[in-house]
Structure 1
Amino acid sequence: MGLVGLILWGCSQEKVKDTTILNGYWEIEKVSFPSGQTKIYQVNAVVDYFLLTGDSSGVRQKVMPQLDGTFISNGDQEPFKISLREGELYLDYDKDGVTHSERVISLNQEKLVVINRDELTYHYKPFKKFELK
């Protein structure tokens, strides 16, 4: 486990104890808007795949889960760096000179919650592969 995985970072709702939890497939459960409205996602055709490639860097990629348990990707990855600013954990993206950040509100085995610059709050849960019976 790298340095990032061992550092305790304070987030506004909970302490992130291990950023390596971010590795893997996450699907959006809901998005909360600044107005107080919420959009619930029952089914997701696309999920986010996060892969930490170093102590404080990684890539994020949109992938489409398939019924056979595989994923299809267009290969487009968005690099990010993990940073700590004023006691808050951020995912800082930079792709082709276009930058944006998301503040991590919560990260544990059951959920990932981030808020972007437009104050949209994304609530993710770990993606569970389809099961054919």
Structure 2
Amino acid sequence: MKRFFLIGCAFLFLGCSSRVSVDDLNKLNGYWEITRVTFADGNTKEYKVNTSVDYIKVEDRKGFRKKVHPKLNGTFETSDDAETFTVVEEGKGLSIRYKTELSEWSELLTELDDDVFSVVNPEGIRYDYKRFEPISIQ
């Protein structure tokens, strides 16, 4: 009986978790580094050090994401390549829909605050990010 109570509490907690709102989208702006990938089977891959980070800019539910490479002097090396996206409201919450010349895909935005965000793709793979903090050696 105790086990059923604990399982019920877990579902209640997960079911009541707050969804990301459109008003939170400006928190995506800035530099982010991946911290963990959780695969659909529950296995995880941790990222302790990243040689590239993602720069995200969003305004009015439209934006872009590009890979940049931080340098020791506090600047970034980048290219002109970017993935454009739109944010749409769906029954499950907010989805980020990407479109490039080669592909289209979407990710459900499951968590977003000033310091972290997470997305889940249709295959059930979760990507966790934290705000990038540059190291400057001058």
Q: Fold-level match, TM-score > 0.5?
A: yes
- For 1:113 and 1:130, the matched residues in 2 are separated by 23
Distance 1:118 1:87, change over 3 A: closer
Q: CA RMSD in A?
A: 1.8
CA distance in 2 between partners of 1:39 and 1:116 (Å): 16
Alignment of 1:56-75 (within 5 A): 56-75=61-80
Is 1:43 matched up with 2:49?
Answer: yes
Answer whether contact 1:113 1:124 (CA < 8 A) is retained. yes
In structure 2, distance between residues paired with 1:29 and 1:80: 22
Shift of 1:117: 2.1
Q: What's 1:22 paired with?
A: 28
Q: Of the two, which has the highest radius of gyration?
A: 2
Higher helix share: 2
What code does the residue aligned with 1:47 have? V
Q: Once superposed, which parts of structure 1, at least 4 consecutive aligned residues long, lie more than 6 Å away?
A: none
Cα offset, 1:87, TM superposition: 4.2
Partner of 1:55: 60
Amino acid at match of 2:87: I
Match of 2:39 in 1: 33
5+ residue gaps, structure 2: 1-15
Cα shift at 1:116: 1.1
1:89 is matched by which residue type in structure 2? L
User: How far apart are residue 29 of structure 1 and its match?
Assistant: 0.6
Residue pairs, 1:107-126, within 5 angstroms: 107-126=112-131
In the aligned structure 1, how far is the partner of 2:102 from the partner of 2:36? 29
Once the two structures are superposed, residues 48-84 of structure 1 have per-residue CA deviations (whole angstroms, 9 ceiling, x without a partner) of 11011x3010000011111111111121000000100
Question: Post-superposition shift, 1:98?
Answer: 1.9
Name the structure where strand makes up a greater proportion of residues: 1
Distance of 1:80 and 1:38 partners within structure 2: 26
Partner of 1:3: none
TM-score, length basis structure 1: 0.85
Identify the residue that residue 100 of structure 2 maps to in structure 1.
95
Unpaired segments ≥5 residues, structure 1? 1-11
Q: For each residue in 1:105-127, what CA deviation from the matched residue of structure 2 results, as whole angstroms up to 9, or x when unmatched?
A: 10101210001122110000000
The count of aligned residue pairs is 122
